[in-house]
Structure 1
Amino acid sequence: MKRLILAIALLAALPAAAQDLLVRNATVHTAGAAGTLKNHDVLVQGGVVRAVGPGLAAPAGVTVVDAKGRPLTPGLFGGLTGLGIEEVSGEPSTVDGGLALGAMVPAHEGSSWRPEFDVDVAFNPRSAAIGVNRVEGITFTVLAPSALPGGSFVAGQGSAVLLDGRYDAALPGSRSLFVNLGSDSSPLSGGSRAGQWMLLEQAMAEARSGQPDGLLTRAGRAAVAKYLGGGRVVFHVDRAADIRQVLAFAKKNGMVPVIVGGAESWRVAAELKAANAVVLVDALANLPGNFDGLGSSLETAARLHRAGVRVGFSQRGDATHNARKQRQLAGNAVAHGLPWEAALAGLTSVPAQAFGVSQRGRIEVGQQADLVLWSGDPLEVSTFAEQVWFEGKPASMRSRQTELRDRYLAPAGALPRAYPGG
């Protein structure tokens, strides 16, 4: 109840359409070169951070919030999820993240490989799952298409999206191609990971020549061609040997690789640093779930950081509905050797830069003012977000979960609780 009172009181002090804001007396975790700044103010005008410093003057008309020393961070990254394209995992009509054309594709149209598949167009900013995670400080995520049986291990395309409820949520410059490699994808490549590289090489050849060879459609060739010579490709891969193959493949084709999973990435940290690759790890992965992850370790993030590799976080499993648990991943990485500031960067500035949205993810002059005010250390699971701002605008701190909580904790009325006034 104390959490609810604090959140509502703070929200009530902010006009819904405000873009100009002064947060006073905060412990500002910039997630940038300045690190942590105690007893500092942050001035936001026009949705952009205009000044960071102690004792800033409040311009006329600016809403002032006294943080009373509490932590202020950039908005957090939710990882690679299906937020907005997956509502109820067990109800197929609400899941739009994967393509499984299989035998439905006519022979003259190529195989079931459809890299032109783009999940952005299915994004629903009013998804209840978004609100549940937004009130926990998650302000942006990357929509990641899924590889399904009857589909391809080249799952398709997706973008980073802002979770403030806007329909045009995809952030410019963040479009990525998603490729799933390793033993889990072997059934989609003839039963062998060697088949994955054979098919990828054929796809690259078709994209370069523009000529059909039985794998890609015309639209598919055009889609892949956009990633040759500088495009961002996200590789879900765990085994160290496979990661080395990814880096060589990306270099050969001029791609910017982002490694997701990376259970054994610490074994090839030197190669990753040389390639300037970002690795998004699940910091709770310890015991291997298959032969690709025999080198899984709770210290993976710390080892990569010590080697100079940029590290961020993304969950395995039910990442969509539990994106808010990203903080737990980062806190766990700190418990196993990752510096606190690096862990926060892994939730903010590192993924923002990795996905081409570097105007977000830090509290610095000129940055978009996506901010979160916390009750305590944001990497502690007992901490909660008191207020979230998108470009200086306060977000509602209510979600489907808080509404259900309030309904069923309220005193019983004349009607059953499922009814208004009940």
Structure 2
Amino acid sequence: MKQFPRLLAVTCALSSSLVLGHDMVPASPQQGPIVIQNATLHTVIDGVQTGSSLRIEQGQIVAIGPEVSTQDAQVIDAKGKHVYPGLIALDTSMGLVEVEMMRPSNDSYEVGESNPQLLAISAFNPDSEIIPTVRVNGITHAQVVPQGEALAGQSSLVSLDSWTIEDALVPTQAQFHLYWPTLRRLAHDEETQKKQLAQYDAQLDTIETTLIDGYRYHMAAQAGTIDKTDNRWQAMQSLYQGKGQLFVHANSAEQIEQAIAMTKPYQLKLVIVGGYDAWRVADQLKEVEAKVIYTRTLSLPMRTDEPTEMSFKIPSLLKQADIPFALGFSSDWNARNLPFAAGQTVAYGLSRQEALKSITLDAAKILGLEDMGAIGVGYKANLIISAGDILDPLSSKIEALFIDGRQIDLNNRQQQLYQKYLKR
């Protein structure tokens, strides 16, 4: 049962009165076949195909090859252009935050420590001014994630071109988000240290209690002995049934090991978000078949004694450790830099194809999707046409974007202002 929390509803109403939505009209459903000809296709699943074409019907790719039928189709000549799968931005607050410093326009978090029933999608604003500015860098879909403490709620995958929340939502497995506590640098004063450690232990106890209570409710539900429905634990049923995933936000090896140890008894499907030290605990992660969303590619090193380039190298270390991973970018408007973060990893160990895969197909697989993130027959027609390399900020020039076969308006507020001040 979906829950629309009172506080989120109130702040959403406030936001709508303070911030106007963008004026780009969502595209209509695909009316007829589209053929993109003579392009360089970056398929992700079948290498790079030069001088190739593809045909789109009813939002899906139905044919690929040097020659495809153009019967009854709108033909786009992409000679000299590159065609990529649409990019999937993981771990964003897109559509939840409009102006970061204005509390009434920030619907990304809720009070309380155990809110598994809360759905971030209930506060998503498909008219956010931020969305068109992100699309122009090739991002077609975003994982909209709740923020907060401990078990903060559930995320959803959304299309970045829609009239309503219902139009935007892409069905996936349930996605629960657990923020692991961080033990900050201990104070020199012994008494203060004790307080810090006690607070940290209390936060761990809260998480453990939440997992235990949720599991007990699940067992009682299986036995048919539930007398009174609790929306929190009822929402977690899919997690204990293996139909949902637990996204644990953690970076240090200690946090990741604690998360594995605490969730292992319940055999939960685990995804580590952040994952700075994930490569250091590869064996433990592989034992529980965990995946990683690495989000710190363009960040400074986590420790002062680490090499400056450490954050850039970690994706290649995850690849060497054979840990399934994708790249994310924990932000709202700044998520537009996702392709350039992937490009940075190419200079530090990943191949260009692996980097592209980490923000397309690998991202889709982490969310349990089998028909997104690649250019192939049967895949959704989420596509980018670019004059250059989308992973390179100097040559990337996106000329067209398709979501489910619909060509999207690439205009946005920033381009409108640019054109305005050219006339000054």
Q: TM-score, normalised by structure 2?
A: 0.82
- CA shift digits 1:234-278 (9 cap, x unpaired): 111011122123234343212211111111111112333343322
1:25 matches 2:24: no
Establish whether residue 203 from structure 1 lines up as the match of residue 216 from structure 2: no
CA separation in 1, counterparts of 2:162 and 2:268? 32
Partners of 1:141 and 1:202 lie apart in 2 by: 31
Match of residue 285 from structure 1: 299
Q: Is the 8 A contact 1:185 1:193 kept in 2?
A: no
Q: Which amino acid aligns with 1:99?
A: E
Shift of 1:208: 2.6
Confirm or deny: 8 A CA contact 1:19 1:47 kept in the other structure.
Answer: no
Residues 1:172 and 1:244: Cα distance change in structure 2 (over 3 Å)? same
Which residue of 57, 62, 74 corresponds with 1:45?
Answer: 57
Is residue 2:100 matched to residue 1:89? yes
Secondary structure at 2:91's aligned position in 1? strand
Aligned: 1:367 with 2:367: no
Q: Is residue 2:137 matched to residue 1:130?
A: no
Looking at structure 2, the residues matched to 146 and 283 of structure 1 have their Cα atoms a distance apart, in angstroms, of 20
**Pair 59,246 (structure 1): closer, same or farther in 2 beyond 3 Å:** farther
Contact (CA 8 Å) 2:60, 2:379: kept in 1 or not?
yes
- Assess if the C-alpha contact under 8 Å between 1:78 and 1:326 holds in 2: yes
The one-letter code of the counterpart of 2:100 is: S
CA distance, structure 2, for counterparts of residue 27 and residue 121 of structure 1? 39
Name the CA shift for 1:241/1:408 in 2 (closer, same or farther; >3 Å): same
Q: 1:352 aligns with which of 364, 379, 398?
A: 364
Cα deviation for residue 396 of structure 1 reads: 0.0
1:142 aligns to 2:139 (yes or no): no
Q: Distance in 2 between matches of 1:287 and 1:142?
A: 25
Change (3 A) 1:174 1:129: farther
Query: Residue type matched to 1:202 in 2?
Result: T
CA distance in 2, matches of 1:228, 1:295: 39
Structure 1 residue 276 corresponds to structure 2 residue 277 = no
Distance in 1 of aligned mates of 2:258 and 2:310: 19
Partners of 1:305 and 1:159 in 2: CA distance: 26
In structure 1, how many angstroms separate the alpha carbons of the residues matched to 2:83 and 2:309? Answer: 36
Which secondary structure does the structure 2 equivalent of 1:22 belong to? strand
Distance in 2 (CA, whole Å) between partners of 1:296 and 1:258 is: 22
Structure 1 pair 172–190 and aligned structure 2 pair: CA distance change class (3 A): farther
**Which TM-score applies when normalising by structure 1?**
0.82
| Aligned residue in 2 for 1:162 | 159
SS of residue in 1 equivalent to 2:172: coil
Aligned to 1:65: 76
- Which SS does the other structure have where 2:234 is aligned? helix
Per-residue CA deviations over 1:113-168 (Å, capped at 9, x if unaligned) read 22212111111111100011012111111111111xxxx32111111111112411
User: What number of residue pairs does the alignment pair up?
Assistant: 374
Question: Compared with structure 1, are the counterparts of its residues 205 and 273 closer, same or farther at alpha carbon in structure 2 (3 Å cutoff)?
Answer: closer
Q: Distance in 2 between matches of 1:293 and 1:190?
A: 29
Once the two structures are overlaid, the 10-residue window that deviates more, 295-304 or 326-335, is 295-304
For residue 171 of structure 1, what is the aligned residue in structure 2? 170
Q: Where does residue 89 of structure 2 map in the other structure?
A: 78
Structure 1 CA distance, aligned partners of 2:144 and 2:29?
27
Structure 1 residues not aligned, in runs of 5+: 1-13, 102-111, 212-216, 413-422
Partners of 2:150 and 2:207 within 8 A in 1: no
Q: Against the structure 1 CA distance between its residues 253 and 37, is the aligned structure 2 distance closer, same or farther, given a 3 Å change threshold?
A: same
Q: Does structure 1 residue 242 correspond to structure 2 residue 276?
A: no
**In the alignment, what sits opposite 2:224?**
none
1:392 aligns with 2:405: yes
**Cα separation, 2, equivalents of 1:386 and 1:344:** 18
Question: Identity of counterpart residues, as a percentage?
Answer: 28
Query: In structure 2, what is the Cα distance between the partners aligned to 1:387 and 1:370?
Result: 11
Match of 1:183, SS state, is coil
User: Using a 3 Å threshold, how does the CA distance of structure 1 residues 403 and 201 change in structure 2: closer, same or farther?
Assistant: same
Question: Is residue 328 of structure 1 aligned with residue 340 of structure 2?
Answer: yes
Q: 1:29 to 1:97 in 2, by over 3 A?
A: same
Conserved? CA contact 2:95–2:125, under 8 Å: yes
Report the Cα offset of residue 356 of structure 1: 2.2
CA change 1:251–1:20 in 2 (3 A) is farther
Cα pair 2:40 2:48 within 8 Å, conserved: yes
Q: Distance in 2 between matches of 1:197 and 1:336?
A: 36
Are residues 371 and 123 of structure 1, via their aligned partners in 2, closer, same or farther at CA, if it must alter by over 3 Å? same
> 1:190-242 CA distances to partner (integer Å, 9 max, x unpaired)?
8544434422221122123338xxxxx91111122321131211111011122
Secondary structure of the corresponding residue to residue 175 of structure 1: strand
Matched, 1:218 2:230: yes
* Partner in structure 1 of residue 120 of structure 2: 119
1:302 to 316, 332, 344: 316
SS in 1 for 2:50: strand
Cα deviation code 1:39-62 (max 9, x no counterpart): 1111101110001111212121x1
Structure 2: gaps of 5 or more residues: 1-26, 186-195, 221-228
Amino acid at match of 1:153: A
Instruction: Indicate conservation of the 8 Å contact 2:372/2:382, yes or no.
Output: yes
1:44-84 Cα shifts (integer Å, max 9, x gaps): 01110001111212121x11111113211111012211111
Counterpart CA distance in 2 for 1:185 and 1:235 is 18
Q: Distance in 2 between matches of 1:245 and 1:179?
A: 13
Query: What amino acid does structure 2 have at the position aligned with 1:393?
Result: R
Find the counterpart in structure 2 of residue 420 from structure 1. none
Q: State the SS of the aligned residue for 1:344.
A: helix
Residues 85 and 15 of structure 1, relative CA distance in 2, 3 Å threshold:
closer
Q: Is the partner of 1:173 in helix, strand or coil? A: strand
Question: What is the root-mean-square deviation in Å for CA atoms of aligned residues?
Answer: 2.7
Rounded to whole Å, the distance in 1 between the matches of 2:184 and 2:363 is 25
1:42 and 1:159 map into 2 onto residues whose CA distance is 30
For 2:215, the aligned partner's letter is R
